[in-house]
Structure 1
Amino acid sequence: MEIIYRQGVLMAEALQLRTRRFEDFWLVASHMGDPKAAVLLLFPLAFYVHRRTGIAVIWVAALSEWLNLVLKWILFGERPYWWIRQSDLFSENPLNVQQFISTCETGPGSPSGHAMVTGAVWWVIVSSLAAFFHARTGSKVLAAVPYLFYAVLLGCVGLSRIFILAHFPHQVIAGLLTGVMLGVCLNRSVPEGRPLLFFLGYSMALLFGALLLHSALQSIGIDLSWSIVLAKRWCSHSEWVRMDTAPFSSLTRDTGALLGLGLAQFWKPGGWTLPWVPRTLCLALSSLALHYVNSFQLPTFPPLLFYSLFFLKYTLVPQVVMVLIPGFVHHLTAKPKKD
């Protein structure tokens, strides 16, 4: 592995040196690949364009990120930004590399969660777009355009993770391949119209399944906090190490979003049928509301309180997008009935 890691950081150094002027682009690409962006940005956009696709985005994002967490616990995997400092290979000839605000994630590095979730979630979107284009025009060339965009997007997200020293190239490739396969498989079983008990069962199974695995690994002597220790030690700015990038944060985000998805369909089965103009208003209001939900600062101590509130925070997201905002817009724009 030392050879693979060494070649990986040399590639990251070359990428930084040759594309430093595109730094802002790489940071935006990395942000767009964040699993959090799938829930807060892609979900409302997809939902108001096509209900099933929006539900599929939440479903696929949650399951793929949960599986990524499990794989990281099992496979471990260093991250470049701390491996460079831990390794003695570059003590005499230090690498000319730089960390960024989104570099210092605290979980293990293999496989890349950004690449894995992006590959899975965006497959849902582009396959839906391709089917729509083909049905409307009958053109296979036009239907292939979304897949071309998909390939470019995956490349940009993958390179951005290498650029900021968050992942080695082999971790990105593993994440992309796994994500594409998950997207293809999970898109076939979207739980639209399922009862609340289904989502409650899934949410609790994922939550307690991960906690049991964590306890089992700890009981056989595997310290799963090793990556957090290294992140705090080798991140160039201590404030860049945040609890919302910790492994348990992704777990509570995924299980909260699934439970919220079930609650939203329970409160208003089938949702509201809205024309395009009200749906555009829904998207604008939902984006504004989710911005405030995301920016709301949670207390980080004690940790159990933080993770509990983080769970509730993402349980709220589907309620806002699927129930509260559409309900408000429906009543706002509904024509009064004539006597």
Structure 2
Amino acid sequence: MNKVCPFSPSVLETRNYSVDPSSSCSRGISRRREAREWVVPLGKMETVYVQGVWLTEALQKRVMDYERFWLFVTHMSDPKAAFLLCFPMAHCFSRRTGIAVLWVAAVSEWLNLLFKWVLFGERPFWWIGESGLFMKNPPQIQQFPYTCETGPGDPSGHSMVTSAVWWVLTSTLASFLYSYTRSTLLTFVPYLLYLTVLVGVGISRVFILAHFPHQVITGTLTGIVIGVVLNRRVPQWRPLSFFVYVSMGLLLGALLFYTLLQHCGVNLSWSIALAKKWCSNPKWIRLDTTPFSSLARDCGAILGLGLSQYWKPGGWNLPRAPRALCLALSAMALYHFNRILLPTSPPLLFYCLFFIRYTLVPQIVIVFMPGLVHLLTDKKKKD
């Protein structure tokens, strides 16, 4: 695997981001940092970032032998895994849980987008070079194919969506075990697994240089709260109009918020430029990691959830064996469906096709594959 450490002194650009107390604005502060100065005092955040960089260096030195494992963990905790993997698995065993997983994944990722636009979180792989604080003593750290995400870093989307979605799965499994065993001790096993998953995801995100430790902690805690709140009210029997309004509301709300911030002079594309500048391999920059890709996925999934319940309100009543077959077919279909390359130019066309892709995901899992399995098994019974 090609790994590069792009933070040698020869490629660093010198920048002085210190603030002179006697002046209103230091000469070295960039316009981007001026726009963010009202969020958190610069000196305090630089201290947090510097400590995070040295912690990442120590982490990479200790666990570099398990590089493939951590890359696998960060890949499986990508927000899209909640839509393409967790959702079909949950729906196979419980229709209500499947709908809850998709609902929580979409809403939590949408909220994560808004939080990132407001908090202006740096990512370590670009902040190290931009800060100019490591000229004399550059950290010995590496980038990976999953490092170069283009959105702001705070809070961590992987940690936030994973903690929200896995709370739904964990609480459901714990309730199931307790109903069958009446063992309180056994009920704690899913929560122990849940904690292990969250710690693993957090370590993987810090290890690959995609997030600072405090961003992972913020995302994890926020995701737990969202998962607990949203899992109590799942839109299982809502009409199609509800999902249309929610989908369009999330889309228009995010666009309106984006326009408002732009009108106030905040450049929300600052992170994309920095990601392209400091990523050691241009091929690692992907359009599906941009904030608007997340927005298209969330709105499309919610609309698709409404359409799937509109076409088949009660779902298909399948026995256990056909449901397992349905899960296998859904997984295969989603795997190949997600591998279809979408044109990246113009970007608007990509986002529209991305929206359509995730609108079809609930149709495949809830309507198409179960309907096909029902047709095959029903025909076999008649024969």
Q: Which residue of 2 aligns with 1:235?
A: 279
In the alignment, structure 1 residue 312 sits paired with structure 2 residue 356:
yes
CA offsets, 1:258-317, max 9 Å, x none? 000000000011111111111111111111110111110000011110000000000000
Which of 39, 52, 67 matches 2:83?
Answer: 39
In the alignment, structure 1 residue 222 sits paired with structure 2 residue 282:
no
Distance of 2:223 and 2:138 partners within structure 1: 34
Which of 121, 141, 146 matches 2:190?
Answer: 146
Distance of 1:165 and 1:135 partners within structure 2: 42
Task: For residue 25 of structure 1, report the CA deviation from its aligned partner.
Answer: 1.0
Partner SS for 2:262 = helix
In the alignment, structure 1 residue 265 sits paired with structure 2 residue 281:
no
Q: Which residue of 2 aligns with 1:67?
A: 111
Which of 94, 98, 105 matches 2:149?
Answer: 105
Q: Which residue of 1 aligns with 2:377?
A: 333
Q: Which residue of 1 aligns with 2:245?
A: 201
Distance of 2:350 and 2:209 partners within structure 1: 27
Q: What one-letter code is carried by the residue in structure 2 that aligns with 1:291?
A: Y
Distance of 1:270 and 1:123 partners within structure 2: 25
**Mind listing any 5+ residue stretches in structure 1 that lack a counterpart?**
none
Q: What one-letter code is carried by the residue in structure 1 that aligns with 2:354?
A: F
Distance of 1:194 and 1:27 partners within structure 2: 39
Q: Which residue of 1 aligns with 2:17?
A: none
Q: What one-letter code is carried by the residue in structure 2 that aligns with 1:244?
A: D
Q: Which residue of 1 aligns with 2:162?
A: 118
In the alignment, structure 1 residue 90 sits paired with structure 2 residue 134:
yes
How many residue pairs were aligned? Answer: 339
Q: As a proportion of its length, which structure holds more helix?
A: 1
Identity of aligned residues (%): 64
Partner SS for 2:143 = coil
Q: What one-letter code is carried by the residue in structure 1 that aligns with 2:98?
A: G
In the alignment, structure 1 residue 290 sits paired with structure 2 residue 334:
yes
- Supply the RMSD in Å over aligned alpha carbons: 1.1
CA offsets, 1:33-65, max 9 Å, x none? 111000001000000011111100000000000
Partner SS for 1:107 = coil
Distance of 1:157 and 1:14 partners within structure 2: 17
Which of 273, 276, 297 matches 1:253?
Answer: 297
Q: Which residue of 2 aligns with 1:58?
A: 102
In the alignment, structure 1 residue 2 sits paired with structure 2 residue 46:
yes
Task: For residue 335 of structure 1, report the CA deviation from its aligned partner.
Answer: 4.7
Q: Which residue of 1 aligns with 2:73?
A: 29
CA offsets, 1:50-107, max 9 Å, x none? 1111100000000000000000000111000000111222111111101011110000
Q: Which residue of 1 aligns with 2:28?
A: none
Distance of 1:144 and 1:306 partners within structure 2: 44
Task: For residue 338 of structure 1, report the CA deviation from its aligned partner.
Answer: 6.7
Q: TM-score w.r.t. structure 1 length? A: 0.99
Which of 177, 187, 192 matches 1:133?
Answer: 177
Distance of 2:323 and 2:168 partners within structure 1: 21
Which of 207, 216, 219 matches 1:175?
Answer: 219
Q: What one-letter code is carried by the residue in structure 2 that aligns with 1:277?
A: A
Q: What one-letter code is carried by the residue in structure 2 that aligns with 1:282?
A: C
Q: Which residue of 1 aligns with 2:24?
A: none
| Greater C-alpha Rg | 2
Which of 270, 278, 288 matches 1:244?
Answer: 288
Q: What one-letter code is carried by the residue in structure 2 that aligns with 1:325?
A: M
My pick for the range that moved more, 28-37 or 240-249, is 28-37
Partner SS for 1:190 = coil
Distance of 1:257 and 1:34 partners within structure 2: 16
Partner SS for 1:334 = helix
Q: Which residue of 2 aligns with 1:190?
A: 234
Q: Which residue of 1 aligns with 2:35?
A: none
After superposing on structure 2, the runs of 4+ consecutive aligned residues of structure 1 that deviate more than 6 Å are 336-339
Distance of 1:318 and 1:335 partners within structure 2: 25
